[in-house]
Amino acid sequence: MSKIGKFLSKTPQEENGIEQDLADIHPFSQVKPRKRKKYIALIALGISTLIVYATVAYFLLKENSEKNTGENLHQQEIAKKEIPPEKSVKVETNIKTENKPEALEKPKITFVPKAIDFKINVSTIHKEISLGLKRISVPKLSYRKQKPASKYKRLLQEAKTAELNKNYDEAIRLYKKIWSISKKNPEVLYRIALNYFKTGKFSVAQRYLDQYLKINKDDIQAVILSAKISEKQGDMKKAQAILEEAYFLHPENKDILENLGKLYEKQNELLVAKDIYKTLADLGYIEGKLGLARIYEKLNDKASAMQIYQEIYEDPNTPEDIRQKVETKIISLQ
């Protein structure tokens, strides 16, 4: 029989005898296995106790941390309400805890929005929106586009400027453009005719003037311009007829009387011119007195001419430029 078979076939008495023999050989051979089991049980019990205490400590620490966090948030809310408007950033350090040393490494930065309050003086509808802890008013701006000067007005100003600068061709071009834009102002036709007259283009000037007189036949200046155009074209009878008709309608008009007297004077009809100038002088116009003095000179009545010139010179209302010319006449007649 093998050794294993012999071992398995042993009776309990034999086994006890063997154990006894072993015990006699080494007294601790029967004790050691039992002590190891006891030590393992004690270690397991200690580990279980540590786990329980660690679990309890973990939940206590967690509860304490949540409590501290709630208190911090509450303090932050209070700080937000009490923070002055000019402070925009507040740096806070969490409360030191034994359980969270990492909280001491970096300060916690809490950004509190700066109070903003826009006040713009505009008469518009305002909207209110919330920002942080305050309400601010944001105006609904309405942009009004400034209406630029119309093209018509701009061209009209440019045309008048060109006319004042004696740039008659440019003035004519601009006035024609204005007339093509709008025909509500017939005065433009008169300006075209007048500028053509100044450039010596009398036929074209008369054509535009006729269009204007169809619209406004009572304009005295246009009637006088028509007479001047006829005079420049050498048609003195037509010019005279135009002015006499105007004089019949407006016998006391200064411009008609002056132009009619000059027309008769140019035709050497001095007596007729004298009567017209006298009428103008009696109305108080200095142009009548000057014309009358000239007629007396041409009639070789120097005494009458000198008397009229003297009156003009001594009149305080006489413009200085006319006074100088009259002075020269007086000296020449003496």
Q: pTM of the entire structure? A: 0.55
3-state secondary structure of 157: helix
- What was the pLDDT predicted at 271? 95
pLDDT given at position 136: 47
Give the chain's end-to-end CA distance (angstroms, integer): 189
Which of 304, 326, 303 lies closest to 313, judged by CA?
326
Res 62: pLDDT: 72
Of 317, 313, 295, 314, the closest CA to residue 304 belongs to 295
Helix (H) or strand (E) holding 105: none
Angle between helices 254-266 and 286-298 (to 10 degrees): 10
Cβ–Cβ < 8 Å for 115, 85: yes
Q: Smallest Cα–Cα separation from 208: which of 187, 195, 192?
A: 192
Q: pLDDT value at position 334?
A: 82
Residue 180 has φ and ψ, to the nearest 5°, of -70, -25
- pLDDT for 89: 41
Q: What is the DSSP letter of 112?
A: -
Q: What are the structure tokens assigned to 82, written together?
A: 């009490």
Cross-strand pairs, 138: 127
What is the residue-level pLDDT of the chain in tens, covering all 334 positions?
Answer: 444 444 445 444 444 544 444 444 444 444 444 555 566 777 877 787 888 778 877 777 776 666 666 666 656 665 555 545 444 444 444 444 444 444 445 445 554 445 444 444 444 444 444 444 444 454 454 444 444 458 889 999 999 999 999 999 999 999 999 999 989 899 999 999 999 999 999 999 999 999 999 999 999 999 999 999 999 999 999 999 999 999 999 999 999 999 999 999 999 999 999 999 999 999 999 999 999 999 999 999 999 999 999 999 999 999 999 999 999 999 998 8
pLDDT of residue 123: 47
